Amino acid sequence: LKKACIGYEHMFEEVPIVIKNSHLINVLLLDLQEKSTVADKHELLNLSS
């Protein structure tokens, strides 16, 4: 690579990625964002709830 004068800048190509969420996921993300305490976040991981 050094002899060919190829640097890491030319080895990778940037590919645009678009992520689309369903309406239910958007509501869940909004709900998670509103719950800001650590206790609430751990409650979501509780399988018995």
Asked if residues 24 and 31 have their Cβ atoms less than 8 Å apart, the reply is no
39, with CB counted inside 10 A (0-12, 13-18, 19+), is exposed
Six token digits for residue 19? 């992520």
Q: What is the DSSP code (8-state) at residue 43?
A: H
Res 46 pLDDT > 80: no
Single pTM value for the model: 0.35
Six token digits for residue 43? 């409650």
Q: What is the pLDDT of residues 2-41, one digit of tens each?
A: 787 877 777 788 889 998 889 998 888 888 877 765 555 5
Pick 11 or 48 by higher pLDDT.
11
Q: What pLDDT is attached to residue 37? A: 56
Q: What pLDDT is attached to residue 16? A: 93
Q: What pLDDT is attached to residue 28? A: 86
- Rounded CA separation 17/20 (Å): 10
